[in-house]
Amino acid sequence: MTNPSRPSFWAEKYQPDYPPPWDLGQAAPPFVEFLDAHPELTPGKTAVVGSGLGNDALLLAQRGFDVMGFDFVETAVARAIRAAADAGLSAKFLQRDVFELGNEFAQQFDFVVEHTCYCAIDPARRNDYVQAVYEILKPGGHFIGLFWCHDRQGGPPFGSDMKQVRDRLTTKFKILSFDLAQTSIESRQGQEYLGLFKKTLAIASQLQQSYKRVPQPVPYAL
């Protein structure tokens, strides 16, 4: 298998004039349901990570969010920019590696949204991925994730389960909700979980405290 951490792995899936195999041709229905159910979420500055052809970003832009989609494949970004222009929407798209976003966009977003990006990332990098999302959110910002948790071997999409995702996110976020999505497309039904997670100052400072408590090595006694 070529390396899914490299843009070239994904770039070859974006054949001209065809959607890539995972593309729904529309926003994921669980996001539509979620936004309808949460009118209290005031639209804000929003990053969509691994934004692909931009379907979910365009939904958010339609709902008044100030959206920036990030993907490291040039053709995906170009096609998403065209889709936004065709729809008359102001969503922006930039070619960036998610793991580098913290250098440029630290604490800039009210929302980060993910859909089949977690399962696209090499499992060995999942903690770094959660860290990257955490870094670009403002304190008090929300992470909205639709996680495809299947149990097939290999990947991408790499498998996971709800508990594993929950345990990983708990280290950085307060979990406001995390449930089986009810309106997944047929091939993902029963395997997709939609969550709303909050970057809280309390957890940030707890992490800092526990970091400070890491025992220091005892110097050699001579």
Residues of this chain, 99-158, that bind ligand SAM according to CB under 6 A: 99, 115-117, 120-121
Per CB under 6 A, 194 contacts ligand SAM: no
The answer to whether residue 10 forms part of the interface with ligand SAM (CB under 6 A) is yes
192 near ligand SAM, rule: CB under 6 A: no
3-state secondary structure of 114: strand
Instruction: Please choose, from the candidates 80, 82, 27, 31, the residue with its C-alpha nearest in 3D space to the C-alpha of residue 56.
Output: 27
Find the binder of ligand SAM among 46, 61, 71, 172 (CB under 6 A): 71
- Name the minimum Å distance from CB 99 to ligand SAM: 5
Q: Which of 27, 58, 76, 80 binds ligand SAM (CB under 6 A)?
A: 76
Nearest-approach distance from CB 219 to ligand SAM, in angstroms: 41
Per-residue DSSP letter, 100: G
Single-letter amino acid code for the residue at 215:
P
Nearer to ligand SAM, 48 or 196 (CB): 48
- Residues 152-191 within binding reach of ligand SAM (CB under 6 A): none
In the complex, which residues of this chain contact ligand SAM (CB under 6 A)? 10, 22-23, 50-52, 55, 70-73, 76, 97-99, 115-117, 120-121
